[in-house]
Amino acid sequence: MSQLVLAGSQIYSTVGTGNWWHLQLVFGATGPDRDEIEVQFGGFSSSETSGFNFMPIRSITNIDSDHYGNVAIDAWDEVGIDIGTRDPGDVWELLVNIANQFVRDQPNFFYGLGQNSNSYASCRIALNSEMGNPTKSTAMLCP
Partner 1 sequence: MFFTQQQVDNLIPLIKVGIHSLVPTFYRIFSVAVLSMGSPAFGEGEAIEPASPFVLARDLVDQSDANPFRFAGEVVTPSARSWPRYEDALERHPTTESCLTEDARGGPSLDLLAYDWMGIDGRYAHDVCLFRVWTALESPELVVAWMEEFNMSVAGTNRQADMVERFGHLFTGSWTWEETTENSSLGGWGLQRLLDEAFFEPTINFTASFFPDGGLDYAAVSFIRE
- Using the contact rule CB under 8 A, the part of the chain among 59-67, 76-84, 120-128, 132-140 near partner 1 is 59-67
56 makes contact with partner 1 (CB under 8 A): yes
Could you tell me how many residues of this chain bind partner 1 (CB under 8 A)?
A: 43
Site string for partner 1, 62-101 (x = CB under 8 A): x-----xxxx-----------------x---x--xx--x-
For position 134 contacting partner 1 by CB under 8 A, the verdict is no
Would you say 53 and 39 are in contact if contact means Cβ atoms under 8 Å apart? yes
Which range, of 24-32, 74-82, 115-123, 129-137, touches partner 1 by CB under 8 A? 24-32
Spatial contact of 12 and 72, defined as CB atoms under 8 Å apart: yes
Enter the DSSP assignment of 86. S
Measured CA distances, 40 to 50, 84, 87 (Å):
10, 28, 28
Q: Which of 106, 111, 122, 130 binds partner 1 (CB under 8 A)?
A: 106
Is residue 26 within 8 Å of 81, Cβ to Cβ? no
